[in-house]
A and B are shown apart, each in its own frame.
Chain A
């Protein structure tokens, strides 16, 4: 049962010496061995010897009574965080053999808290995607299967699809994700786990490969809301190396879970009742509203009038930033180079061969919206609409404490679905993007299964830097829903 534990349970088991960190590590390495060839959740697995050495050190700390909050807990790291001496690819060919000589701030903090890294999880190339199909190292398979249609391969969501699949299938107790427009929350919902995008500025971006700098935010992907709080405590905090990182103190997030939510006002944004929303999602949302009302919350109808413009705004701003952020992948100082006779020839060949199709598209789109003659019509306009989207949230939070919405407009879809029309694919982010644009924290909690047996998630959005209230409400929702399902493909399945 070691691969089904929550972080909290595993920490307690280790502290009580019910099992050793070495046992725990071995169980996970074994699960990865058996399942990763099928799931493709990890791009790189840390060599067994290194993991076991670290596990032994963790056992020594438990024995000595000096164990830290995440001591010996096997964690997957999205392959977007630079890890010192461990290959970091961003799921791109262009970084196929990149070995960072530095450790990202977030992973350094996790290591300082005692975490045991077992591998680098797969993702959409440079975190650009909502289905984890754009990775240069192959698509990730969702461990969940449709009832009666087990043969159809489902996507895990994206971009943190490898992290979500790994946590859902028992290949890690928890994993890091990054969220730019929904990349933690949507795969968490698709894989039946908890995913938290903290407030922009809560976690340092230093050492995390950038997609869209004004939106990127690291966060935990876990099995429970309490675990998300525990892990965020280890990840968050001031970093003088990131000018956009907040120097607010880090609260004891895990303690927020279980706090009474009686009297809290929960807003239901009218605009999220988008036409065409699936009846099953709609019903699950109504159920969530009922649970929170039962828990003593006051349900309030609110309006976020600019919601419908969130996606278009996002798909202008994020590509604009990415077109500039990804200029450094030029084959000169690191990464894969394609040789040519001239400098420009190297750039063009390297970047054409090194970037996959979706990344190339977004770079080109971003280049276009920033170029002379189009800047005002696209980029500047989008930044103004972004102001309006943020104002919507600020005004709504004058009336309510949190917002409750679905996380995604559907359950996990099949590989190959939604692929023909890029706009159709972008619609996956419709409920997650607005919170990203505003920079507010948002949590996805698994609350039930649809008629095909696939998990569905609800999203709780809170005020800037008020992750605590978000976690409290998420904890209550989790308790009411009692989601205890595991996917078909799981380390313990049949065991």
Chain B
């Protein structure tokens, strides 16, 4: 399958990367080339093979339910591009 411009635009929108139309075409060509290269995987028989999740070396650990973190408002807000009092600020979101 070949990657079209509409799909490229939809992907850029999903990824929230604002691209001008000219850039979109460049990106489309680059991704399309790589996607073609991925087609080699179609020759691998994966019948009955489970997907690898993580690196299967450890079981998931669980921690005790204890409050050990938080209460660091200054650190949380320390790098904010825009804040107002104790909040991060963004343009008004209409719901």
Contact = CB atoms under 8 A, between A and B. Distances in A.
Main secondary structure of the interface of A (DSSP, over half): helix
Contact of A341 (B14, B19, B91): B91
A401 to B, nearest CB: 19
A415 interface: no
Interface of A: 97-99, 101-102, 199-201, 214, 240, 243-244, 246-247, 306, 308-309, 312-313, 315-316, 323, 327, 330-337, 340-349, 351-352, 355, 360-361, 363-365, 367-368, 371, 378, 380-388, 390, 421-423, 438-439, 464-465
Given A334-B79, A384-B46, A387-B46, 8 more contacts: A101-B72, A201-B58, A315-B37, A332-B80, A336-B81, A337-B82, A343-B93, A361-B30
Contacts of B72: 101
B16 A371 contact: no
Contact of A244 (B11, B15, B54): B54
B57 A309 contact: no
B41 A352 contact: no
20 contacts: A97-B79, A99-B78, A101-B79, A201-B57, A201-B58, A240-B63, A247-B58, A327-B16, A332-B80, A333-B88, A334-B80, A334-B81, A336-B81, A343-B91, A355-B17, A364-B27, A367-B11, A378-B38, A384-B46, A385-B49
Nearest to B47: A384
B40 interface: yes
Contacts of A98: 79
A141 B31 CA distance: 28
A363 B17 contact: yes
Nearest to A332: B88
B79 A335 contact: yes
A382 B40 CA distance: 11
Interface residues on B, range: 35 or more
B38 A316 contact: yes
A214 B38 contact: no
B75 A214 contact: no
A53 to B, nearest CB: 24
A337 B16 CA distance: 13
B17 A333 contact: no
B54 A387 contact: no
Contacts of B76: 333
A86 to B, nearest CB: 13
Given A240-B61, A349-B18, A422-B30, A390 B54 contact: no
B86 interface: no
Nearest to A242: B61
Contacts of A343: 90-91, 93
B44 interface: yes
B67 interface: no
Contacts of A97: 79
A244 B7 CA distance: 35
A336 B79 CA distance: 9
A395 to B, nearest CB: 14
B58 A337 contact: no
Contact of B31 (A243, A351, A361, A385): A361
Indicate the member of B12, B15, B49 with the most A CB atoms within 10 Å.
Answer: B15
Contact of A312 (B3, B37, B81, B93): B37
B16 A384 contact: no
Contacts of A383: 51-53
Contact of A464 (B16, B37, B57, B61): B57
Contact of A351 (B16, B53, B58): B16
A419 B44 CA distance: 29
B6 interface: no
Nearest to B38: A312
B85 interface: no
Given A352-B18, A364-B15, A244 B34 contact: no
A315 B33 CA distance: 13
A357 to B, nearest CB: 9
